[in-house]
Structure 1
Amino acid sequence: MTYCGVMTMKHTMVTETGFPFEMAEKHITVVRHHRWIVGHAIWAAVLAVVLVFAGGCGAKSAEQPKEVGESVASARKKYATSQPYDVANKEIVLGQSEGTTFKLADMDSSVTYEPWFRKSHGATPFVLYRDPELHTVEQVYSTASIRSDGTLTISPKEQYDEEVRWTDEYGSVQRDDQGKILRLKLSSGNRWGTREILYLAQYNDLKTGKLLKKPLVHLMRIKPSSGQLARPSTTMRIGDDGNLTLSWKPVRGAAGYVIMQVGIGGAEKWPNRDGDVTTTATSRRMLASTTATSWTTSDRNRSSLDAASVRADDLADGTSGTLWQQEHYGKLRDYELFVLALDDDYVPSFESDHILGRDIAYKIPLMRAGETLKKENILSPRTIDDVPVTYPVTMADGMIRRFPVHLDEEGAKLYVHRQDGTEWVKIPFRVIGTELTDEFYVRASSKDYRGKLADHNRKALAARATGSVQTVTPMETRNIVATKKDAYSDSIPSTDYVVEADNALEEYLGANMAAGKEYLDLKAFPEVGDDGVLRQAMDLVRQRNPILPAVISYYYSPSKKLVELRYGDLKDALKQTTTLISKVGAIKKAIIKDGMGDEKKVDAINRYIADHAQYDYEALDKKNAAEAIADQQGQDSREAIKAKDDMDLNYGYAWKPEGVLLKGKGVCASYASAFQLLASQSGLESAYITGQTSGGMHAWNYVKVNREWKMVDPTWNDSDANPNAYLNLSLKDDRYLSTHIPDSSFVNRYHN
């Protein structure tokens, strides 16, 4: 499904080794935003809407890169104060049954270990987490675990046995011949389990017992045991019917696969120094088991993806709800999804990279918004003219989204009432983008009802979403072979572009992408333990820096700490980037004056866009036409692919900043990305936001004005009837909240 805010890109997997490009060095400026976005991996939050994951590493060794450049080290220092914890320079590599020992002060010494957690029963020098956000606790190592000689061993022997009930693809519990419930053992008393990377947080100075200013995190990489299966390399897509599909390549030696869900949050909470809480995983369950290499949700199991604490539809009666509902509205009960491969003895592989509930919940239609349907009297229209163009649906994040209603013109039947002779039409309908179907019974005339059905469907098509997020696709697992000894970039290249970044990794990735570098050395970033962390960082960099050349795929070798990026037409992309940089520089020089405050800068940028751009209805019509062909012929049909390729080639600019800035026209995605680009280059902190409005999916901006986030909708501000009605509005402004519903990932990031 697509929408006005963002544009769908279909990427091709790249398997051949590319060649590096040598770029001239230019001046670089970096915009630093000292904020920590809670809820994503070490730097992150993401936009990403379609997630794909890569597996292990190639066997051949690449050329050894040179030593890490000074610019990376200086960038780390620059962002140090904004990061929630430090990362140890060296990984701890352990076998499945191995432990690691730390030397602390002897127990008979006078050293007292200070507790990090305010409400903890005692000091906890080490806490083991399964995620880089330090949300999900695996095991706590308190001072009670310190031996008399002052050593403390972090060992899998401390782990609890963990198992889940074996289920089939319908969720039914499986039993053996004797009727005993079959259980899948995920970890045991002498094995670390299925997580390849664990995060060991150290809270105390090991000699003095004093608390560290912030935790020191040791990455623990668990080596596979002899004969252990490779972890699945998983891709994800959300289909036109709103169902989630996970797919993976066959794992050699696998007898089957299980799809697992781990809940984040629950009864046991660890308060941190500021009184907030770090939650533990409270539930791990098997959603399905299969011998196939894909799994798709259905009516039977889609409810398992529900992440809402309180649904908007529960408050549709207009009341403020209970106190509990008020406090939990908009908050998610997060979870992780991943796939395990099993051998003939049901021994699991490591987990595939995780899909987070918060990243997909706002895209998964869950059920009819029943209370809203009643309130708006949608269920019983009197005539065809009263049939709604859109239909309210509760999503897995608890928010209500409106999807177009398509009436079945072929299946509609006319009935004549026997007693009074009135004419009625039974109209089957489906809610586009979901599996929801139903029927309307309305009064109609036999003379014109079919024409009215066709008119309704044309309106529904116009209301349909028209674009999707460009994401980065990992390459298939293979070898990385550098073509030159110095092929791998290990420093931050210079460019005229101002890179928006929250940390050294984002700055490093963004600057190298701006320079068209294909080979990157990540040895200076030990926190990038797996592909999931890198993917989230790359998605965020791409979202916040729309001017960067499009990376269509990449491959990461965790063992070598090397990345290969693959671009589209890099030469044209860099030329386009240079043109955009020049244009943005000229605009900035013309409209941003010395001494301007934040609000005046925002006003100037908004005014420039409104004066120099117009909405590209022709591009939107072409997108709608391509979508209609995909609906009728199937999205993989030759006609649909040709229509989409033609649209992308001739009208793709309308979803990118160059549409508004270079051609003077675009849809809302172009307006919002152009605003973000101009704002960032003018020293403002801004964000590209997607979500729902009465007209369907939409894109707009948040911008920080005098340290407070404000809302700007440059598309709607470009209006003769009501200009600048959505300029510098508070995120709590009723005008904004009554017309725009941001996707839940942005709610968690900016509203909580």
Structure 2
Amino acid sequence: MTPRRFPWLAVLGSLALALVLVVGVTVVLVLDGDESDASKERRSRADELKERLLEDARAELPTTADVENAVPGYDYTTPVTGVGTEADLAVPASYDAEVSDPWRGAVGKIEVYADAALTEPVPVDILPDLTSSASDPHLAITPVAVRSSYITRQDDQAKGTLADLGTYWNLNPHAYVVQYLTPDGAPRPRPLVTEVDFVAETPAPAQITSSVSAEGDALLRWTRVEDATEYFVVLLQRRGDDLNDSVRVVGRTTETTWSSASTTKCLHDCTQNEAMRLTTVDGSTQVSSPQLVAEKVDARLGVVAVVDREASAMAPIDFDGLETLPVRADRKWDDGADIANRGLAALPSRFLFVSIDGSTRATAATVDRSEVRRDGDHWVVPLRGQGTRLVDPVRIPVAAVDDIDAAVATFNERAQRDYPPAGLDEAGIVIRADLPKAPSPELPVPDYPAFGSNELTRFIAGQLIAGSTAIDVSELADEPGLPDVQDALWEAVYQNPYALAYFDEFSFDGSVIHVDAAYSQAELQSRQKKIADAAQQVVRSTISSGMSDADKVAAINRHLVDGADYDHAAFAVIDDIPASFRYAWETDGVLVSGTGVCMSYAYAFQALAEEAGLETVVVTGDLADGGGHAWNKVKLGESWRAVDVTWNDPRGPWNPQSGTRYLMIRDAQFSGSALRTERDSWMSDAYLSKYATR
């Protein structure tokens, strides 16, 4: 469906007609005077125009399930596609559905969400559909219009412009409508979900990617939209129930890149990424002011293209990996620090900062000798956070430092040595637009485990394991209840240790996933066999009949801790991983060669656990002390428990205390330096909640 801008209003204005337009849908026409043949002809033309308008401004949703229990607890209809971004969604209904809070819809009757997990609400209004007849009543789900100001500052002068972003359908082009009642108002046995895809006349930017710069700024890149005059970088931030300021334009550019460096503010101290905060009050402020209550901000980020003042649908950007973006320094370290006597030796090797998700995190501290200056009887030492723009100036008595050059060098060596290992490079999964589109038939899946929480992911996983370079998903991509292709692809990469796809690159043309494989077919098959042989040998030697699932987990953990070492040389090149170090992120690094980083530990644990008959998943996230990380969860009875083999490895002989510290624990038991947050890329969104430890 193609939205229209009502060009017929000018025609109707010349017909001496009175017109009432209700929410862009309902039209009532009243004719004055006698009706001649000419006026009848004009009325016919007007009716045709009205009918065309209603076709484009209204889409009816199905009320019967196509797939029952597609996602546990929910039925799904056939998706509705090609709906205009200004259109109403019509639902057959003989009941009322009053909306007191646009964010929540008609609670328990009709609700609208932006995500498959049904956790991110979309604000709507729900009204009686006045175009429907009394014998066939409908409700109209109406989108809310979006206008947002954009403020720029130059030479201490602020200038504001208004950005027309269309409606909330533009900002949420893939929505999920949940019907809890049948058309006659009776409760359904399970809620009915309809996925709706919206389109705008202006094409959305494609192949949008996000990354974090060496200075801790968000970097966005996207492909150019033909004839686009500008692009808006848009941040949706739901703060409570208020629609005001819920949409912010944080960037406006004619280029196809944007950096949050443009939001950096420096007065006495510098802050960065302030506009992208995901909580109203950060944890550090709460500690000092416990009367303040933190409220998580439901946030989404994306880019909107503008052609002839018409906004496109928003191309979304995943916040995965961006939650750790720094905002401000958090100077807690100086309580009791004996700077007056110990000088730089009293400075911490960790630089504490508050990130956009409100957490206090740490990174390696560093001092640039060229920035150190003397101010009377004190050295002014700018303590910087590695990977941020943040700086914390520290005044140190000159008398406490014998040799400032040697003191700075010693401090930097200590800080670098103490920086914690992590080793997860999310950018290893790349989706590009320029890969060759060579055809490839569907390949038979080798006899290795292929994991997927749903049919689409299992199919992709099987083809990755088989070494396919073109995976045709056209028969599954639009099936009700299945995740979108990118969501399923990421899950397939992370949850399949035999796929060896972490360094593959992908493009998607709408029906086929094209794969630029990191390894040749021969190398893939050779390494898969070595992994399978190693997994079988380890399980035969460590797992015995009569063992409980918990005993099996403990045995696999000890084997990996005893037999593997963390690959610090590989971790040192994480910013630009050469082919010779890729093994450290793949299953065979730890399992076959006995060395790797966290991703390899997690893959190896998963391969061994599956061989031993355990149900397990790889989890990815971010450490509070900085860096991406990977670990596992395993199912014991009816509960899931976390296992972090990497952090159980004591860097030496087996130690029962350190070797079991993070073994079969709840999520909340990761504390102190092990505190972490989970990303959502390791599992399809609709299934993430299934793996929470309880």
Which band: TM-score by shorter chain?
Answer: 0.7 to 0.9
What SS does the aligned partner of 2:177 have?
strand
Structure-2 residue corresponding to 1:724:
659
Corresponding residue to 2:298 among 326, 330, 334: 334
TM-fit CA distance, 1:310: 4.4
TM-fit CA distance, 1:296: 1.0
C-alpha spacing 1:385/1:444, structure 2 compared with 1 (3 Å): farther
Corresponding residue to 1:652 among 582, 594, 601: 582
Determine the C-alpha separation between the residues in 2 that align with 1:379 and 1:287.
40
2:393 corresponds to 1:407: no
Structure-2 residue corresponding to 1:393:
353
- More RCO (CA 8 Å, sep 6+): 1
Determine the C-alpha separation between the residues in 1 that align with 2:579 and 2:434.
30
2:446 corresponds to 1:511: no
Determine the C-alpha separation between the residues in 1 that align with 2:397 and 2:479.
59
Determine the C-alpha separation between the residues in 1 that align with 2:339 and 2:693.
33
User: 5+ residue gaps in structure 1?
Assistant: 1-75, 176-180, 269-279, 418-423, 628-634, 636-643
Q: How many residues align?
A: 600
C-alpha spacing 1:123/1:144, structure 2 compared with 1 (3 Å): farther
Determine the C-alpha separation between the residues in 2 that align with 1:289 and 1:283.
17
Corresponding residue to 2:516 among 566, 586, 590: 566
Verify the 8 A CA contact 1:125 1:142 in the aligned structure 2. Answer: no
Structure-to-structure mapping, 1:195-274, within 5 angstroms: 195-206=172-183, 209-225=185-201, 228-264=202-238, 266-267=240-241
2:264 corresponds to 1:289: no
C-alpha spacing 1:118/1:415, structure 2 compared with 1 (3 Å): closer
2:135 corresponds to 1:149: yes
What SS does the aligned partner of 1:549 have?
coil
Verify the 8 A CA contact 1:610 1:714 in the aligned structure 2. Answer: yes
CA RMSD, Structure 1 to Structure 2 (Å): 4.2
C-alpha spacing 1:500/1:385, structure 2 compared with 1 (3 Å): same
Determine the C-alpha separation between the residues in 1 that align with 2:284 and 2:110.
43
**1:78-121 deviation line (CA, Å, top 9, x unaligned):** x94653533323534334566666656xx5xxxx7999999999
Q: Structure 1 length normalisation: TM-score?
A: 0.69
**1:492-550 deviation line (CA, Å, top 9, x unaligned):** x5432223322222222212211122333334435589999322332233222243132
Verify the 8 A CA contact 2:174 2:196 in the aligned structure 1. Answer: yes
Verify the 8 A CA contact 1:463 1:696 in the aligned structure 2. Answer: no
Determine the C-alpha separation between the residues in 2 that align with 1:194 and 1:116.
20
Determine the C-alpha separation between the residues in 2 that align with 1:169 and 1:236.
25
Verify the 8 A CA contact 1:397 1:744 in the aligned structure 2. Answer: no
Determine the C-alpha separation between the residues in 2 that align with 1:244 and 1:404.
19
Determine the C-alpha separation between the residues in 2 that align with 1:232 and 1:406.
38
Corresponding residue to 1:159 among 143, 147, 157: 143
TM-fit CA distance, 1:185: 2.5
Larger radius of gyration: 2
Which amino acid in structure 1 is aligned with residue 389 of structure 2?
A: E
TM-fit CA distance, 1:585: 2.2
TM-fit CA distance, 1:438: 3.6
Corresponding residue to 2:550 among 596, 599, 606: 599
Verify the 8 A CA contact 2:170 2:200 in the aligned structure 1. Answer: no
What SS does the aligned partner of 1:353 have?
strand
What SS does the aligned partner of 2:525 have?
helix
Verify the 8 A CA contact 2:363 2:385 in the aligned structure 1. Answer: yes
Deviating more after overlay: 397-406 vs 438-447? 438-447
Determine the C-alpha separation between the residues in 1 that align with 2:351 and 2:604.
31
Determine the C-alpha separation between the residues in 2 that align with 1:286 and 1:411.
35
Verify the 8 A CA contact 1:712 1:726 in the aligned structure 2. Answer: no
Which amino acid in structure 2 is aligned with residue 660 of structure 1?
A: V
Which amino acid in structure 1 is aligned with residue 615 of structure 2?
A: L
C-alpha spacing 1:504/1:212, structure 2 compared with 1 (3 Å): farther
Structure-2 residue corresponding to 1:306:
277
Verify the 8 A CA contact 1:679 1:686 in the aligned structure 2. Answer: no
2:622 corresponds to 1:704: no
Verify the 8 A CA contact 1:384 1:442 in the aligned structure 2. Answer: no
Structure-2 residue corresponding to 1:139:
124
Which amino acid in structure 1 is aligned with residue 122 of structure 2?
A: V
Structure-to-structure mapping, 1:352-431, within 5 angstroms: 352-356=315-319, 359-370=320-331, 372-375=332-335, 377=337, 382-413=342-373, 417=377, 425-431=379-385
Verify the 8 A CA contact 1:672 1:714 in the aligned structure 2. Answer: yes
What SS does the aligned partner of 1:505 have?
helix
Corresponding residue to 1:85 among 58, 74, 78: 74
Structure-2 residue corresponding to 1:714:
645
C-alpha spacing 1:687/1:530, structure 2 compared with 1 (3 Å): closer
Determine the C-alpha separation between the residues in 1 that align with 2:587 and 2:467.
19
What SS does the aligned partner of 1:743 have?
strand
What SS does the aligned partner of 1:266 have?
coil
Verify the 8 A CA contact 2:321 2:628 in the aligned structure 1. Answer: no
TM-fit CA distance, 1:339: 0.9
What SS does the aligned partner of 1:672 have?
helix
C-alpha spacing 1:668/1:360, structure 2 compared with 1 (3 Å): closer
Verify the 8 A CA contact 1:307 1:397 in the aligned structure 2. Answer: yes
What SS does the aligned partner of 1:499 have?
coil
Determine the C-alpha separation between the residues in 1 that align with 2:105 and 2:89.
25
Verify the 8 A CA contact 1:716 1:725 in the aligned structure 2. Answer: no
TM-fit CA distance, 1:727: 4.6
TM-fit CA distance, 1:242: 0.7
Structure-2 residue corresponding to 1:738:
672
TM-fit CA distance, 1:612: 1.9
Structure-1 residue corresponding to 2:409:
454
TM-fit CA distance, 1:606: 1.1
TM-fit CA distance, 1:711: 3.6
C-alpha spacing 1:114/1:212, structure 2 compared with 1 (3 Å): farther
Determine the C-alpha separation between the residues in 1 that align with 2:586 and 2:250.
39
C-alpha spacing 1:339/1:454, structure 2 compared with 1 (3 Å): same
Which amino acid in structure 1 is aligned with residue 595 of structure 2?
A: K
**1:338-384 deviation line (CA, Å, top 9, x unaligned):** 111112x422122113334xx244320111113x2344649878412
What SS does the aligned partner of 2:600 have?
helix
**1:380-405 deviation line (CA, Å, top 9, x unaligned):** 78412212211111111111221112
TM-fit CA distance, 1:128: 4.2
Determine the C-alpha separation between the residues in 1 that align with 2:436 and 2:648.
50
